[in-house]
Structure 1
């Protein structure tokens, strides 16, 4: 979509965009994990879902009117991904210290919006939706801004094309013209028979989770509907919002505000939309072979039809499957019937209950300085491959419970142990005794690869005491 002057002028003057990028995407496990959720993955197209969302928003909004709200754990990866699209966005990332659902996240973004313009409109977009026909999307935003200027809270509804039980629905009221309707009510994820009736009657739209409203009017409704959140908001001059995050309610914007207020309007979307919220959606939108299979990665499929088969961890060989999902990573494999994809959340919940780390992270974990991959682990030892980006530097740190041994595989390492610096090159090594202060950096122009062998009674990532960190991760 090319930016047109009337749309750009309208939104540049009147509206800010708040992109919500803090979700965990549990229904796409095992690809989506807590530390690398679906919005940061390349699932459809050549870029991540977050990058696709930001690129679409930048067609209308100037960078200084775009705010991305994410989790503290993801802020460096989010900053890196959006900087590829526009370096000015690096300063537009807001970090939640922990997840508190969509309403607090929106209010965190509104803090910046009203600071810039107390009379501004605000548009809220999830970062993990797939949208086609950007010109129609822009036109719908213009229509929504006209309604929001009348103190209407505007949401966007999508015409159903199947009886979907994984989405919320919006009940249509009076026709207001221009594809806009008053809202009679909301229905949260109906059963199949109800969803099928909604589809046949044409009385309901899917709830897209996108909104547009007057920031001032919205905050007035928060004061009325959620007084605890309002008190937290009003105290932000004395206590920054992020400091009080642990004490506020975990509540969605739907439950906290939308379902409690009048004068709600829905704009029926003229664009194609999908939230890529399940493996069924990935199958439905994927390129299919002659047998109706969607295949990605190193997969051998014999006599299979209607399957989604993904491998990111070695050869996946399957035979005689029908309407089945199999997703394999280096450390986990999911298999389930296509019509049971909503139960993936139950799988994740069961893994959490047994304390499995498979919910949190992949074997490769990304950090602001690069990444590390766990190659092997056992009682009192762990082996990692660490890759440090050119010019990057890890924190100055120490560990209470483990010692480490580093071997340089490729590149040049700048190492400091107890204030003693040294340079290591390929095949050279160094010992890091327990409780010694140490630091690793890459002074070169190519990635630095090292093998790290940890040994000790406790090897988890929270055994790190940081003394200095260029990424601001030192606990004060």
Structure 2
């Protein structure tokens, strides 16, 4: 049997609201240059291309970001840029890509990578991705990357490994049709964002890994699971695979719920396997994640951005400034982000409430735009300026 082509798919359609005001609907987080002078999307592209045997890299994103994607990734082939008709989360996006992959290759070993992850060790990542793609090609399972937890994190999902799983560093051979595959462990269940006590118990047990949101599978296996557990998604993939033009299937797309691939498919799939990733990883979904990986001074302060910033008499402060210079004095454990789209000042112990606060701000801006009587512009009214 000839080897399956290896394809990487980068998910690059999110808005990244928890990194406001640096990340906005006009320029979401995958286009930010947070570390090393490259955008997060560029860094993901380079990781994907470092995986042994990768033939093509595909990117799926929304129409508003197609131009930015082409600008950031000039090496991306036009036929490998998949445009979502509207934002629908990861399950519809991956069903759409699965249809394109089926039409182009027949079958392929597919590596799925979100565009907003922090993975500093590209070599270790490439080795793990190689193992995951081997497991995907030699089994009938969907393969997920599990990350060894380093703290009782309550903002990540967890993977519970099968009780028979080997301890870290001890491989388990999966078998398909009597052929030994690479190290992989059966998954017992997924657990979403536990409370503090449960997260601490998960960490102590050694049976739980963080769910990274990175996957590998054979495209035909994934499409079969779509047809079994999410027929509407399976029908979309089949119509795209058959070569139907977008106007023919767009009504199906618009009728789909906005749902993650974890909820729609993985939690109901027949066979899920997990590899222990073996590399440092983080989801850059919040300011606390950015703070964890920024370069610190002797007082634990992190300064990012393109505009000058002075931090004096302060500790544990994360500052990002664009276009606006900033002076920060005599404070501790704060996040300060200032861009032309707004200003954020928040204690690190309060930053998880940012999404709710943004909802309030947006309602105020809408009222202001309608000419609300007696209203004054909110402090962060810069968020209402024209997009870049």
Q: TM tier, shorter chain? A: 0.7 to 0.9
Matches within 5 A, 1:27-176: 27-60=18-51, 65-83=56-74, 86=75, 88-148=76-136, 149-173=138-162, 174-175=164-165, 176=172
Higher RCO (Cα < 8 Å, 6 or more apart) = 2
Contact 2:31/2:39 (8 A) holds in 1: yes
What is the TM-score when the length of structure 1 is the normalising length? 0.69
Contact 2:6/2:54 (8 A) holds in 1: no
SS in 1 for 2:26: coil
Write the distance in 2 (CA, Å) between the matches of 1:26 and 1:221: 31
In structure 2, relative to structure 1, the CA distance for the partners of 1:337 and 1:361 (3 Å cut) is: closer
**What is the CA-CA distance between 1:331 and the residue it aligns to?**
4.0
Greater than 4 Å deviation, 4+ residue runs: 61-64, 355-364
Greater share of helix residues, 1 or 2? Answer: 2
Count of aligned positions: 353
What is the TM-score when the length of structure 2 is the normalising length? 0.84
Q: What is the match of residue 450 of structure 1?
A: none
Bigger Rg, structure 1 or 2: 1
1:295 aligns with 2:284: no
Contact 1:229/1:249 (8 A) holds in 2: no
Matches within 5 A, 1:271-286: 271-286=279-294
In structure 2, relative to structure 1, the CA distance for the partners of 1:246 and 1:352 (3 Å cut) is: farther
Contact 1:35/1:361 (8 A) holds in 2: no
1:212 aligns with 2:191: no
Of residues 264, 284, 291, the one that matches 1:256 is 264
SS in 1 for 2:119: strand
Greater share of strand residues, 1 or 2? Answer: 1
Write the distance in 1 (CA, Å) between the matches of 2:31 and 2:141: 33
Q: What is the match of residue 190 of structure 2?
A: 186
Contact 2:135/2:183 (8 A) holds in 1: no
Write the distance in 2 (CA, Å) between the matches of 1:55 and 1:254: 25
- Judge which range, 196-205 or 151-160, deviates more: 196-205
Q: Which runs of 5+ in 2 are unaligned?
A: 166-171, 174-181, 370-379
Write the distance in 2 (CA, Å) between the matches of 1:222 and 1:118: 16
Q: Which runs of 5+ in 1 are unaligned?
A: 1-8, 367-476
Q: What is the match of residue 168 of structure 2?
A: none
**What is the CA-CA distance between 1:119 and the residue it aligns to?**
2.4
In structure 2, relative to structure 1, the CA distance for the partners of 1:111 and 1:49 (3 Å cut) is: same
**What is the CA-CA distance between 1:227 and the residue it aligns to?**
1.8
User: How well do the aligned residues superpose, as a CA RMSD in angstroms?
Assistant: 2.4
Of residues 293, 314, 338, the one that matches 1:328 is 338
In structure 2, relative to structure 1, the CA distance for the partners of 1:160 and 1:17 (3 Å cut) is: same
